[in-house]
Structure 1
Amino acid sequence: MTTTPPLPVAGFSRERLELDPAYGRIRRGSPVAPVRLPDGTGAWLVTGWEEARQVLSDPVFSRARAAGRSPGAPRREIFIADMDPPEHTRMRRHAARAFTHRRVQELRPRVEEAAGRLLDAMEHDGAPADLVERLALPLPVTVICELFGVPPGDRTRFQRWSEAFLTISAYSPAEVRDAHEALDAYLGDLIERRRADPGDDLLSALAHADDEDGEDGGLGPGELVGLGAGLLVAGYETTASQITNLTYTLLSLDGEWARLADRPELLSTAIEELLRFVPPGSDTGMPRVATVDVELGGVLVRSGDTVLVARPAANRDERVFPFPESLVLDRPDNPHLAFGHGIHHCLGAHLARLELQVSLGGLLGRFPRLRLAAPESALQWKAGSSVRGLYQLPVTWTDTRR
């Protein structure tokens, strides 16, 4: 494979939310470009929307093959994001039952109640406040742990384990391994309790689920642990970061927070635009490996080649999104790839949207004149994490409205 000069393949800014302009230049040259990885091997970088959708949906691009090529990376015995069909199909069939749009909407009153309590306390204590501590962290961890039936007293431990998985550079390999083992043991025990005494929660439903066609008799203990851990971590950390990131984006762009507070009917459309505009991760996501020769974006990708999909770059594709570098809160057509596409489309997308609607809607309605309480230069961004985010988001306000 011929290669371009070395490119910043993980080149999204790791300290803020800006997208490296190199990705736009690469896409305009070729939406599928050869690059060289830090270890010296070649790969294909996909920055175009149409080409990204092809990779994410075509089974010839294997996640399982790519996951097996990650020496030294922490690995779970079973992790749904690393699977291909038919194993992935069977696992996802069980998990998807709990994340239908109808079932998630049934959770809305509980999510609104939890958010209301947090906002009540924040308003009562007065400005300034750290939005990460007061809302962005506690709301998703409360929701996902209630969904799984994790007792309130155990949620601090879960939060610590999740941070170790997603901020690997801040922990030693032994600490990451210990966190995996601790969560495995905890979930294994919780699953056994749910098998013996099921409750009204997702883990109980999964522990007692039978396959619809009756062929496999449900998920085994190891499968349940791997699935549960993946869903718990993904359902907490990414949503917490996005509540913070989307709020920060609105507050840092002149007039956008006030505009949205005055036009609450735009909330759902605005959230979709923010999801398109704000990069959720700090790299190109999960690699894939081509299992046959395949044409992609006018180039021939050979069997065995690694393919990296830069979804945030694809979300700025000018062929699909007019004015892609601008935040257009009333953008009418928004087929963004923030939650992926194809068989690995985010299982928790409905739940994440619900939490973003409730949290941002609550903040806009109650604090229409919310603003940053610290200069942007003083904000500390997470480094070495697979998700972007701030450690704190200090905010203040001059009045409230219910």
Structure 2
Amino acid sequence: MTTTVKDIVTLVDDIAPPQLAFEGDKIGLHVGSLNHKVNKVMVALDVLENVVDEAIDSDVDLIVAHHPLIFKPLTSINTNSEKGRIIQKLLQHKISVYVAHTNLDITSGGVNDMLMNQLGIENHQILVETGEDELFKLVVFVPETHENELRDALSNAGAGHIGNYSHCTFNTPGTGTFKPQEGTNPYIGTQGDLEKVSEVRMETIVPKSILSKAIEAATEAHPYEEMAYDVYPEAITGSKFGLGRIGQLEEDMTLQEFAQLVKEAFDVPAVRLIGDSTKSVKNVAVIGGDGNKFIHEAKRKGADVLITGDVYYHTAHDALGMGLSMIDPGHHIEQVMKKDLVKLLSNKAQNIDVEFTTSNVVTEPFRFV
């Protein structure tokens, strides 16, 4: 079966739901077509010209990137400019570009979790809450013969998960009636005759983020031409989501020692250190990219040190004033998303004939002398 850009986009969106992204963030399809055939996918941090050249040389059909290719509106596509050349090359070689940015930062298991895992801090929590998933009650009426198949389909789509329990449903037996009209091809019964079927009213909880996916999965598993179902909003809310993570080191260490650990964990030549090198640190906060505006939240949550990139001069002074240490290993440490996202996509694409690879081009613009 042919794999398309749309098929891969479905996988990416399942990992990093678009609705999690900050308002105005330039996520989604930047170049290409959802209908283009895909044999090879390359995951990249940035879409620069040398990354596109790498994709061309490697016969890549789709680039899944973290940083947007087109962030500010283009007034022209001048092929003498770098941006124009990039777009021209992508179109000429039929390479599509899909972006998952702040939605990949925020999602559970996303960039900020990847950064914490790279530091060896496993038990961590959200640093800055940005929202919570609404919950809905999905009710599907299914013949008894297909009850188990439907329950499995819903669970595999992410519905009916409460804590560490899956397949959570409530089931009420009953009798369904229907009369197939002209033009129908009923699974049970004949046209013009009233049919009575032993059915089950299956109820389950579904987060808003996967509601459409759950209904689609139920429809595919349901034997009827027309599936009867109801959707009700719930007063309770689901899982919280947000930016950044905070956790604890197994053992206290000095800020100087921890800075060295950060340097080695992210394989960077140097880090910028803000604070007393001899200070003991235990509670660690991480925000991938530019986390300047979240220093107050980090301090309020009890962080001894905040790791983030692009720290401004005045932000550093403010952090010193409030007693918050900071370590700036650079924006480029978000490159951990390349190998980790490839693993996540490969696990979800076991039934899809496509190759996933990471970009090997180093897009760090800074050099240390």
The two structures have a TM-score, normalised by structure 1, of 0.21
Higher relative contact order (CA 8 A, sep 6+): 1
Bigger helix fraction: 1
Q: Which has the larger radius of gyration?
A: 2
The two structures have a TM-score, normalised by structure 2, of 0.22
